[in-house]
């Protein structure tokens, strides 16, 4: 009996464990759903941004339970349609809620290819095309920053890029921390504006620096870091026995979109021998535009930069670059472990192309293809026009807000209006407080699909939804 069972099992290995023809047919139909529902309808201004359901209702509609037996292809395709139907359409021209709005067809093609090829960006052996491509794309981004050489890597989001900066800056200043840990180091201090991204606080906690050692520097009325206040905070930290090591400036703060004065901040960093990191996750794309790159004047003096092309360039999540001016192999020395089962020293090709040891990750998704393909499609000039169009939309909207009466009062009822717009599905825009100011709408324009009509609709819809509040 055992022999018969063994023979039956071996016979089952004569053929693939799945039906390739059926799989291909399902994929073909699923791609039709993607193009029709997610792309065409998802970017159609006459369709809803979202079809809101309460969690309990949505759970029932989706039938999320996982069972012991599989389902028929027709049922699975309907599930794909349901996923699209009840998801937020971030490519919709009236999705203003986050910084990653918009859907570019070339970038999407890159994302689909990346998923289909399903490789890890750690060795030339398994990702030969993408290792070379990542190097070219990172070099181009560094060139726009103003560096003729350097290093870098794509990371899973701007928050992780900022943490890279903190880790690398600490290692550069105190290389013994890699082996001895924080116990062997003095109490460190880092500095960022009070309007900076929350990832700086998270990074300090995650890396063992401590949130109490993040010194928040005052900003002016436009949300820009005040260099004189930065210097005072550095002197205060030193007087308290701490060891300052890093300053994080921001180009494009989350709420006000402010650009810190990089030149003056760089002067302070040079006086005190501090690492200057620039979080340009949102604002970095302004470097592509000759009209707006002055907003980042002095960025070439930074030691490291965070830049998220998945924001203003609409490349699609995720595409976040950590750029480094250093050419001494600092990333490799800080993060490398030389695992012999992956980074063998006796490979038949140039092992300098095995770049994965620069990252604390092992498996690392390919994030360069979608940006590379978009760049190939539009050229640098096309990307610059995309940036300039976003600025032009923002200028138009600001002038319209100034022109219309009553919008100052809307600030006090933002949560109620947000609920009404979500339930209606007409558009999405975020709100938040800032300092002593009550909740207000933070309108974000990055998608190239946005037109003047959409911006007018944004203001008209807020008036319609809030007329009785």
3-state secondary structure 272-307: HCCEEEEEECCHHHHHHCCCCHHHHCCHHHCCEEEE
**DSSP E strand boundaries for 94-253:** 95-96, 151-155, 188-193, 214-217, 243-250
Pairing of the two strands 95-96 and 275-280: unpaired
Q: Phi/psi at 259 (nearest 5 deg)?
A: -115, 115
Please compute the mean of the pLDDT values over residues 255-259 and round it to a whole number: 90
3-state secondary structure 55-108: HHHHHHHHCCCCCCCCCCHHHHHHHHHHHHHCCCCCCCCCEECCCCCCCCHHHH
pTM, two decimal places = 0.89
When pLDDT is cut at 50, 70 and 90, the band that residue 404 belongs to is confident
Helix (H, G, I), strand (E, B) or coil at 381: helix
Task: Starting at the earlier edge strand, list the strands of the sheet with 428-434.
Answer: 95-96, 428-434, 437-442
Please compute the mean of the pLDDT values over residues 119-146 and round it to a whole number: 97
Burial class (CB in 10 A: 0-12, 13-18, 19+), 196: buried
Residues 6 or more apart whose Cβ sits within 8 Å of residue 411 = 437, 438, 439, 440, 441
Please compute the mean of the pLDDT values over residues 113-126 and round it to a whole number: 96
Give the model confidence (pLDDT) of 4-44 as tens digits. 656 655 667 888 888 999 999 999 999 999 999 999 999 99
Q: Round to whole Å and give the CA distance between 282 and 288.
A: 13
At 347 the pLDDT is 93
8 Å CB contact between 262 and 249: yes
pLDDT greater than 70 at residue 410: no
Q: Round to whole Å and give the CA distance between 92 and 90.
A: 5
Q: Phi/psi at 396 (nearest 5 deg)?
A: -60, -45
Give the model confidence (pLDDT) of 141-157 as tens digits. 999 999 999 999 999 99
């Amino acid at each position: 009996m055992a022999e018969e069972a063994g023979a039956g099992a071996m016979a089952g290995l004569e053929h693939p464990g799945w039906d390739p023809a059926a799989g291909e047919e399902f994929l073909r139909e699923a791609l039709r759903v993607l193009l029709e529902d997610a792309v065409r309808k998802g970017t159609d201004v006459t369709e809803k941004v979202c079809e809101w359901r309460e969690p309990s209702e949505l759970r029932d509609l989706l039938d999320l339970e996982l069972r012991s037996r599989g389902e028929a292809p027709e049922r699975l395709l309907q599930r794909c349609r349901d996923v699209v139907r009840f998801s937020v359409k971030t490519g919709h021209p009236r999705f203003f809620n986050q910084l990653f709005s918009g859907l570019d067809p070339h970038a999407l093609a890159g994302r689909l290819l990346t998923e289909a090829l399903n490789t890890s960006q750690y060795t030339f052996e398994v990702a030969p095309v993408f290792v070379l491509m990542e190097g070219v794309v990172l070099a181009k981004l560094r060139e726009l920053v103003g560096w003729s050489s350097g290093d870098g890597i794509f990371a899973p989001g701007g928050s992780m890029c900022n943490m890279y900066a903190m880790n690398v800056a600490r290692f550069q200043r105190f290389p013994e921390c890699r082996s001895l840990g924080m116990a062997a180091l003095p109490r460190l201090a880092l500095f960022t504006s009070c309007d900076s991204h929350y990832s700086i606080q998270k990074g300090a906690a995650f890396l063992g620096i401590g949130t109490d050692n993040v010194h928040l520097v005052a900003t002016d009325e436009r949300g820009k870091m005040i260099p004189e206040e930065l210097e005072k905070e550095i002197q205060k930290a030193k007087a308290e026995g701490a060891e300052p090591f890093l300053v994080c400036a921001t180009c494009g703060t989350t709420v006000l979109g402010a650009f810190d004065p990089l030149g003056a901040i760089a002067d302070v960093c040079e006086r005190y021998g501090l690492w200057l990191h620039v979080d340009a996750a949102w604002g970095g794309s302004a470097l592509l535009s000759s009209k707006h790159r002055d907003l980042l004047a002095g960025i070439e003096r930074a030691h490291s930069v965070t830049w998220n092309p998945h924001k203003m360039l609409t490349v699609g999540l995720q595409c976040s670059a950590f750029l480094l001016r250093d050419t001494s192999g600092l990333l490799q020395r800080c993060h490398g472990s030389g695992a012999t089962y992956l980074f063998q020293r006796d490979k038949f090709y140039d092992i300098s192309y095995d770049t994965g040891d620069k990252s604390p990750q092992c498996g690392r998704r390919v994030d360069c293809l979608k940006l590379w393909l978009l760049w190939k499609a539009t050229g640098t000039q096309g990307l610059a026009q995309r940036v300039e169009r976003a600025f032009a939309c923002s200028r138009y909207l600001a002038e319209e807000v100034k022109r219309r009466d009553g919008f100052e009062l809307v600030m006090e009822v933002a949560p109620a209006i947000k609920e009404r717009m979500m339930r209606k599905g007409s558009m999405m825009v975020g709100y938040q407080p800032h300092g002593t100011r009550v909740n207000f709408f933070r309108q974000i324009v990055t998608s190239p699909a946005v037109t003047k009509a959409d911006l007018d609709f944004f203001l008209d819809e807020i008036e319609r939804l809030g007329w009785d509040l």
